[in-house]
Amino acid sequence: MPVVSAVCIIFVFSIMFVMKKIQEIAIAEYDYPLPDDLTFMKGDYKESYPDYLAAINRLDENVGKLIEKLKSYVGKAKLEPMLLANNQAPDTVVQVNTLKITREELVQVLTEEGVGVQNHPWAPDCLILTGTGNLERLESFRQGLYYVQDAAAKLSVLCARIPAGAAVLDCCAAPGGKSFAAAIAMEGKGQITSCDVHDHKTGLITSGAAR
């Protein structure tokens, strides 16, 4: 697990590096900046950036090299399902706030609210929801009985095995899921300092903690 986790972390940061490099290429060679979220790849910026295809081709070339590197770590048999999973729409996964409610009790509450619920196959106290619509309309969400968090994000907290009463620093906390998971693991005892480099995102941490 540590090796696979390390490889995944390297892969994510490598993708971020490639995104940054494509911006540098666009500025240096085509004299225009690209949006941080790369929405130009969807064609939204065709009129503004007539040479965007050249930038995309350069990005494709770098991503191909990155995939080959990842394949050398995990092998073809593991790489293909990883890439397939990356192209699929993720499930809506929520972490049960066991400081307020048990998993079994929350399943009953959500069912009464008309939400489809099933246990996550491997993440403890996580549920997969369907048919939620806008989560903010649900009273269970407004009461803070759970929060949305990809199961993979919870792995960092599970691996850390944080004891009750610990002092935790979450340096890249927004929107707050890992900090909340740590608080639950610590049984509401101890201290967590949650911060983020983007000021506008810290409000998400504050609102989530208030719920």
pLDDT in tens, 86-127: 778 888 999 999 999 999 999 999 999 999 999 999 989 999
Which residue has 């770590």 as its token pair?
73
Of the two residues 80 and 3, the one the predictor is more confident about is: 80
Confidence of residue 24 (pLDDT cuts 50, 70, 90): low
Question: pLDDT value at position 117?
Answer: 96
pLDDT in tens, 52-77: 556 555 656 677 788 888 888 888 88
pTM summary value = 0.61
Cβ–Cβ < 8 Å for 14, 66? yes
Query: What value does the mean pLDDT take over residues 167-192?
Result: 87
Confidence of residue 83 (pLDDT cuts 50, 70, 90): confident
Cβ–Cβ < 8 Å for 96, 127? yes
Query: What value does the mean pLDDT take over residues 158-169?
Result: 89
Question: pLDDT value at position 86?
Answer: 78
Name the token pair of 211. 């719920």
Cβ–Cβ < 8 Å for 162, 186? yes
